[in-house]
Structure 1
Amino acid sequence: MNINIIYALAKRQLWLTVDVPEGSTIQDAIDRSGILTQCPDIDLEQQKVGVFGKVSALNTVLADGDRVEIYRPLIADPKAMKGRAKTETVATTTQS
């Protein structure tokens, strides 16, 4: 089975294709791809993974043609950033 492994960094994206046997899991495909050697910052105990945008467990069995995505950790809480953006907009508007 052909599986794509995707990892997007701030300045580059990695798109690897790996051939794995039937019944392989996300963990198997990631290990076989060599991406953990290319990107030693990947920590699968902390980072989430998914298949075609759906968060999945490392023991999820893959199908031919699946795209495994390794998600980077969030740097900031999206809810906090949204609230901060609103506060900055109000402050800018009232200062005018």
Structure 2
Amino acid sequence: MGASPDNPIRIQVACARPEKQRIRSLELPAGTTAREAVQRSGLAAEFPEIDPDRAPLGIYGRHVEDGHVLRDGDRVEVYRPLVIDPREARRQRARAKRS
């Protein structure tokens, strides 16, 4: 059974900080993109530090582009910007261990 305007898709949009996580379940028209789902989710009101028009997005841990068309059952994840580059964090931990 394919998605059509008469048969909407059901997806989730997830956003998280260390102290707060939210997952919104949405029913949207077939053809909705990942970016559109984030914009329609309303999560920007709870996470003002996230720019719903620019934040990096993924589906089940895999990066996707804004125009990625969603399928029924997808979970769009809104990623926070990195505070520190992971390679730099490893270097700092290694220096701290040597000290």
Query: Normalising by structure 1, what TM-score?
Result: 0.86
Match of 2:25 in 1: 17
Structure 2 counterpart SS, 1:23: coil
Structure 2 counterpart SS, 1:18: strand
Identity %: 32
Alignment of structure 1 residues 47-86 onto 2, 5 Å: 47-86=55-94
Provide the C-alpha distance between the structure 1 equivalents of 2:72 and 2:93, rounded to a whole number of angstroms: 42
The answer to whether residue 36 in structure 2 is matched with residue 36 in structure 1 is no
The residue type paired with residue 50 of structure 2 is I
Provide the C-alpha distance between the structure 2 equivalents of 1:41 and 1:83, rounded to a whole number of angstroms: 28
Query: Normalising by structure 2, what TM-score?
Result: 0.84
Structure 1 counterpart SS, 2:83: coil
Provide the C-alpha distance between the structure 1 equivalents of 2:83 and 2:38, rounded to a whole number of angstroms: 23
In the TM superposition, what is the alpha-carbon distance from 1:39 to its structure 2 partner? 2.0
In the TM superposition, what is the alpha-carbon distance from 1:80 to its structure 2 partner? 0.9
Aligned length: 90
Q: Which moved more, 1:75-84 or 1:28-37?
A: 28-37
Match of 1:94 in 2: none
Unmatched 5+ stretches in structure 2:
1-8
Give the 4+ runs in structure 1 shifted more than 4 A. none
Q: CA RMSD in A?
A: 1.1
In the TM superposition, what is the alpha-carbon distance from 1:26 to its structure 2 partner? 0.7
Structure ID, larger Rg: 1
Unmatched 5+ stretches in structure 1:
92-96
